[in-house]
Structure 1
Amino acid sequence: MSEEKGKDEAIPVAPEADKPESRFKVAWQDIVRGSALVSVLAVVAALLIGAILIAAINPEVQRTAGYLFARPQDFLKAVWDAVVNGYLALFQSAFYNSKRDTFSAAIRPFTDTLTYATPLIAAGLGVGLAFRAGLFNIGGRGQMIVGAACAAWVGFTFDLPVGIHLIIAIAAGIAGGALWGGVAGFLKARTGAHEVILTIMLNYIAYYLVSWMLRTPGLLQAPGSVNPKSPPMKETAVLPPLLGSQFSLHWGFVLVIGATVLIWWLINRSALGFEFRAVGFNPDAARTAGINVRRMYVVTMLIAGALVGLAGANQVLSTQSGGLTSGVDAGIGFDAITVALLGRSSPWGIFAAGILFGAFKAGGFGMQAAEGIPAEIVTIVQSVIVLFIAAPPLVRAMFFLPGRQRAKRKEKLSVTQGAAS
């Protein structure tokens, strides 16, 4: 009888009342330890720093700071008004402006945001896919320039039927970006050269190559022109507007949505995506498991370059494009790195991050026009986001979240104590 009693006491049973609380606690710990929350808090922290800068350069804030201790309420009101008016101007210029007379005019800022976000998302997908395979694709600028040059050449050279011309021009842009990315992947696979050095050097080669072609008659330069610019795209090769001619948003945004769905399926549902992730986690283990790591490097950079080439095609074939120039990338190739980091290399995370950065681009000009706030403030906010994304422990410390290692040690200690009891 005593032996049976001892056996019963050796198996502790948790009370039923503790189960809901423990489940909630586990769910909360998953949230606060997850990388998605760190990304959101990084944006919040960057906006707070942006608010400090907006207040610091405001003339009224500087004036009331002269008698801060005499009437602190004036200073606080000036700070509040400067920050609220600044971010309100950003929101109205990027999402919805209720001061407009019609609904179509009120939502036009949001369509501008989506227009800015379209190439950012496409290029961010290319960078993020490479990150998943353990490669640092810093060559977005070069891949985008080459892709845009190939799309532009098809766009202004050939006379093709409506629809077919546009499809071939987009395909040429995708192929150009894939070719330029594939060069880096091939050299990485065959020689072992680091992809960061390769892609940076290829950026310079692409820029100066296309610049030379834009200054050479018979290649990309417009006939009879002395400016380094191509002829405008023919109407059959221009992406049609998505919501009407009064909006800048075009069908390139639909292509980017399709690319996001395709990359999500590729990474999470296909055998090739499994190989991408396996190589990214541990190339040596992947090689032992029978995966051709060299082949994966080439395939990854081909697909990544194709996505960035799609961004270049979107730039040069859009309704606002007057032709190809050497500055067609507009910094998007490097901004895509930030978008991929903020989106944690997840396709839908990159999609959301691209829209956010598109809003920053669209709203930055509105802030400057409405409130006199320099557009560089938005650039600083974007840079601070990158800083915080690169330092998750700093974000966790700022918002008093438990660190991953500390939480793991605490969980391991609790399990050990439970087993001992």
Structure 2
Amino acid sequence: MTGAEGNKPAQESGGNPNATATPAKPPVPAKESNGTQLVREIMSGNAMISVLAVVVALVIGGILIAFTDPRVTSALGYFFGDPSATFKAIWAAISEAYGALLRGATYDPGARTWQGRLGIFETLTFATPLILSGLAVTLAFRVGLFNIGAKGQIILGATFAGVVGFLIELPPGIHLVAVVLAGAIGGALWGGIAGFLKAKTGAHEVIVTIMLNYIAVSLVLYLLKNQLRDPNSSNPISPRMHETAMFPLLLGPNYRLHWGLVVAVLAVVAVAWLLNRSTLGFEYRAIGANPRAARTAGMLVSRGYITVMLFSGALAGLAGVTQLAGTEKLLDSDIAGSIGFDAITVALLGRSRPWGTFFAAILFGAFKAGGTSMAINADVSIDIVAVVQSLIVLFIAAPPLIRSMFRIKELRREGV
């Protein structure tokens, strides 16, 4: 070894022969871009599970449509003689049914009037109460509570709103605001009962809210047969809402879409901010993740249960307001319909996220709007839509089933 070569370590270490060479740092992996991370989460996470659940449900629904179609059953009789005829009949049955569903929910160029063509507005009309009631269930989910009582909260919200809407006369503008506030208060009080009992006695919210649903139905039916009954009708219905208490129509008299949709969108924004940007929302998420740890950290878990059920009930009450002041115009015992239980499906499909719930509600609104078109134009039972909705719930409730069917790896998040 030459002298020049022997001096290299000393020169590289700044002339200090005792210094040791610093080991090279391992290369830092390039950080994923936001777009790449988003795609990875969609393909491996909950969003993709929701999409695939809908797709699988539609496929199974298509099979039911095909094998209940008379053309298919007829073609099956000579399947081995002409198998192509059977497949053509299957394709015709499924494409006609889902085509009619899609056109009825969005745009039908074959309709004679513009009112019939623009089914998207009917979809949004159906989606409006689903957005609000779905948010009610979503908010409770994030705290670890299963609010199955949206139906009762919708009924009480509509009842409170109705009392202000058809028994009291107020100036325009003020009257509608009073109706909205009354509906929110009615739903909040009914939801707050479940939250209070959960916080103070440990009563299970599922049992309590189910019982409150029955009480709400019986209570409103009693009121409609007595104090709130329309004297001009023999049926248990209320008088018609005053014009000043109704939501104005967004697109004129030819469409049912009303300003309740704006209320629903504002509610989505508010709930998203509450959960993701506020201190209270952080507490809600902490309680939902681990109530014991949240209590150890000094959070008031009991207060969280009560306040979240108040907010949840208020949102469901607003759904009742949109039904009463926007669509039905009068109160009856079936004002909630299936909205309360559809809200659970919407919240599950939306993965308990405000904007996910919003789009899930629009999807279910499309099912409702397009189901009628499918029944009329394709001669397919509207019950098929209910079957598809039920299948969506089934697959959403069993993510491992979807993951195994499509070989999707579960996304493991790093950090907290």
TM-score norm. by structure 2 comes to 0.90
Instruction: Please state how far the C-alpha of 1:403 moved relative to its aligned partner.
Output: 3.9
Report the residue type matching 1:293 in the other structure. V
Match of 1:128 in 2: 138
The percentage of counterpart residues that share the same residue type is 54
Change (3 A) 1:51 1:332: same
Counterparts of 1:258 and 1:27, CA distance in 2: 25
Q: Is residue 326 of structure 2 the alignment partner of residue 315 of structure 1?
A: no
Q: Is residue 380 of structure 2 the alignment partner of residue 373 of structure 1?
A: yes
Change (3 A) 1:119 1:20: closer
Match of 1:106 among 117, 122, 137: 117
Instruction: Please state how far the C-alpha of 1:88 moved relative to its aligned partner.
Output: 0.6
Match of 2:85 in 1: 74
Change (3 A) 1:28 1:153: closer
Counterparts of 2:58 and 2:21, CA distance in 1: 59
Change (3 A) 1:287 1:166: same
Instruction: Please state how far the C-alpha of 1:27 moved relative to its aligned partner.
Output: 6.5
Match of 1:169 among 153, 166, 179: 179
Counterparts of 1:69 and 1:19, CA distance in 2: 59
Counterparts of 1:146 and 1:28, CA distance in 2: 42
Report the residue type matching 2:133 in the other structure. A
The superposition leaves residues 23-78 of structure 1 with CA deviations (integer Å, 9 ceiling, x where unpaired) of 99877643332101100111111111111011011110111011111111101111
Report the residue type matching 1:152 in the other structure. G
Match of 2:163 in 1: 153
Q: Is the 8 A contact 2:69 2:93 kept in 1?
A: yes
Report the residue type matching 1:242 in the other structure. L
Instruction: Please state how far the C-alpha of 1:21 moved relative to its aligned partner.
Output: 10
Change (3 A) 1:82 1:113: same
Q: CA RMSD in A?
A: 2.4
Match of 1:414 in 2: none
Match of 2:153 in 1: 143
Report the residue type matching 2:352 in the other structure. S
Question: Matched residue of 1:324: which SS?
Answer: coil
Report the residue type matching 1:91 in the other structure. L
Change (3 A) 1:159 1:55: same
Q: Is the 8 A contact 1:232 1:321 kept in 2?
A: no
Q: Is the 8 A contact 1:215 1:226 kept in 2?
A: no
Question: Matched residue of 1:317: which SS?
Answer: helix
Match of 2:15 in 1: none
Q: Is the 8 A contact 2:45 2:410 kept in 1?
A: no
Match of 2:246 in 1: 238
Counterparts of 2:254 and 2:114, CA distance in 1: 13
Q: Which runs of 4+ in 1 moved over 3 A?
A: 6-14, 18-31, 100-105
Match of 1:204 in 2: 214
The superposition leaves residues 317-338 of structure 1 with CA deviations (integer Å, 9 ceiling, x where unpaired) of 12x4241111000110010000
Q: Is residue 360 of structure 2 the alignment partner of residue 353 of structure 1?
A: yes
Change (3 A) 1:342 1:9: same
Question: Matched residue of 2:77: which SS?
Answer: helix
Question: Matched residue of 2:239: which SS?
Answer: coil
The superposition leaves residues 269-308 of structure 1 with CA deviations (integer Å, 9 ceiling, x where unpaired) of 1111111101100111111111100000000000000000
Unaligned runs of 5+ in 2: 1-5, 13-19
Residues 185-204 of structure 1: pairs in structure 2 closer than 5 A: 185-204=195-214
- Which protein has the larger Cα radius of gyration, Structure 1 or Structure 2? 2
Report the residue type matching 1:119 in the other structure. P
TM-score norm. by structure 1 comes to 0.89
Residues 179-328 of structure 1: pairs in structure 2 closer than 5 A: 179-216=189-226, 219-318=227-326, 320-328=327-335
Question: Matched residue of 1:268: which SS?
Answer: helix
Q: Is the 8 A contact 1:393 1:403 kept in 2?
A: no
Match of 2:399 in 1: 392
Instruction: Please state how far the C-alpha of 1:106 moved relative to its aligned partner.
Output: 2.4
Q: Is residue 93 of structure 2 the alignment partner of residue 86 of structure 1?
A: no
Instruction: Please state how far the C-alpha of 1:373 moved relative to its aligned partner.
Output: 0.3
Match of 2:63 in 1: 52
Instruction: Please state how far the C-alpha of 1:396 moved relative to its aligned partner.
Output: 1.2
Match of 2:390 in 1: 383
Q: Is the 8 A contact 1:156 1:231 kept in 2?
A: yes
Q: Is the 8 A contact 1:316 1:323 kept in 2?
A: yes
Counterparts of 1:27 and 1:227, CA distance in 2: 54
Counterparts of 2:190 and 2:151, CA distance in 1: 10
Counterparts of 2:300 and 2:165, CA distance in 1: 38
Q: Is the 8 A contact 1:94 1:362 kept in 2?
A: yes
Instruction: Please state how far the C-alpha of 1:364 moved relative to its aligned partner.
Output: 0.7
